[in-house]
Structure 1
Amino acid sequence: MGNTVQFTEVYNTYFRPLCYFSQRYLGSRDQAEDAVAEVFTKLWRQRTHFHDIDHARSYLYRAAYNTCYTLRKAADGQSSRETHYIEQSPDADESYEHHIVRAELWAQIYRAIHALPTQCSKVMQLSYLEGLTNEEIAQELDLAVQTVKNHKQRGLAILRATLSRDAYLLLVLCVGLLR
């Protein structure tokens, strides 16, 4: 990770999925982003070397988990009941691996949306990742509402063809929950 180009590539690939993963444990988007930033800062300072991308991914998720655990432990104080927040959380029945799989599906969705044509990508991101309405998107991007609808329709068609079945279903289900 001493190489800036390699570090940037790993950062761009894993920052958002690790934030999603960490948010499941910390409950706050801001805290999750801070925790992941801490992981990447440590990674850069230590100039950690990995055998391959699977080794890097495994390291990053474990480091994010450990950072979240440490942050919760510090925030909750010394009580032994409170220091086991992660194990006692409402998501305790969902395994660590389950969170990783879900984070990886979201990473696939983010990459696919960012790979769309520029304007279509902006519309899809504002709609499906940020939850804005067609009217809000039209106003923000200075487009007609029908143009926004057309971009969304085109984007969904491309995503359906490029995403795995599970990632596409996750996107559609989560968007349905937002609306």
Structure 2
Amino acid sequence: MTEQEVRRYLRQMKEEDSERAFHDFYNLCYDRLFRISYYYVKNEDWAQEIVLDVFMRLWEQRTKLPEINNIEDYCFILTKNASLNYLEKESRHTTQPSEQLPEPPDQANSPEEVLISEELFARYVKALDRLPERCREVFIRIREEKQSYAQVADELEISVKTVDAQLQKAITRLKEILLTD
């Protein structure tokens, strides 16, 4: 996603109440926001619901969006907070008997560790978005969705060797992007 493209959509949404611009903005940002939400909630249905709620909020705030300096970070934070709030709400609804509760970890992560991990994840998501579409698709299916090479090849109607080549290309580009930023 380019900053100019996003800014154009935001201006059209504000000045013209353009639903078309909002739809284009949605198409541009949905995958990234879905991945962010899924990272936190680990449930596809919940992540979809959360991202739709985030977009509803963005539409309601459309007149203020062009004034935000870094819309990418703003959307990331909105999605992260909505995901964490959703998890909190779900945990209140699903109370477990005390013998079924998981044991607390020996040592909780410090706020610094949490911040570093979130910053790294944000950089990873941005780097993924900069990959060519086919590379990104193959990488996500194999590394995040844990599909086999054969399954990806079959679904995308490409050879297993092409899947392997695309995955290697994605890994190489991700390393370059992450190490240079």
Query: What's the TM-score once normalised by structure 1's chain length?
Result: 0.58
Matches within 5 A, 1:15-94: 15-50=30-65, 51-54=67-70, 56-75=71-90, 76=92, 93-94=110-111
Matches within 5 A, 1:131-150: 131-150=146-165
User: Which sections of structure 1, spanning at least 5 residues, go unmatched?
Assistant: 80-87, 168-179
Does structure 1 retain, via aligned residues, the 8 Å contact 2:142–2:152?
Answer: yes
Matches within 5 A, 1:88-107: 93-94=110-111, 97-98=115-116, 100-107=118-125
| Counterparts of 2:39 and 2:164, CA distance in 1 | 32
Q: Deviations over 1:48-75 (max 9, x none)?
A: 4232441x34543443344345434443
Question: Among the aligned pairs, what percent are the same residue?
Answer: 19
How far did residue 41 of structure 1 move? 0.8
What CA RMSD, in Å, does the superposition of the two structures yield over aligned residues? 3.8
Does structure 1 retain, via aligned residues, the 8 Å contact 2:37–2:83?
Answer: yes
What is the SS of the residue equivalent to 1:153? Answer: helix
User: Which sections of structure 2, spanning at least 5 residues, go unmatched?
Assistant: 1-9, 96-103
Q: Deviations over 1:75-111 (max 9, x none)?
A: 305x9xxxxxxxx999763566445423422322321
Counterpart AA for 1:110: L
| Counterparts of 1:128 and 1:38, CA distance in 2 | 27
Does structure 1 retain, via aligned residues, the 8 Å contact 2:128–2:136?
Answer: no
Does structure 2 retain, via aligned residues, the 8 Å contact 1:11–1:40?
Answer: yes
How far did residue 131 of structure 1 move? 2.4
Does structure 2 retain, via aligned residues, the 8 Å contact 1:20–1:103?
Answer: no
Does structure 2 retain, via aligned residues, the 8 Å contact 1:123–1:148?
Answer: yes
| Counterparts of 1:160 and 1:62, CA distance in 2 | 24
| Counterparts of 1:24 and 1:92, CA distance in 2 | 17
| Counterparts of 1:156 and 1:15, CA distance in 2 | 23
| Counterparts of 2:175 and 2:153, CA distance in 1 | 23
Query: What's the TM-score once normalised by structure 2's chain length?
Result: 0.58
Matched residues, number: 153
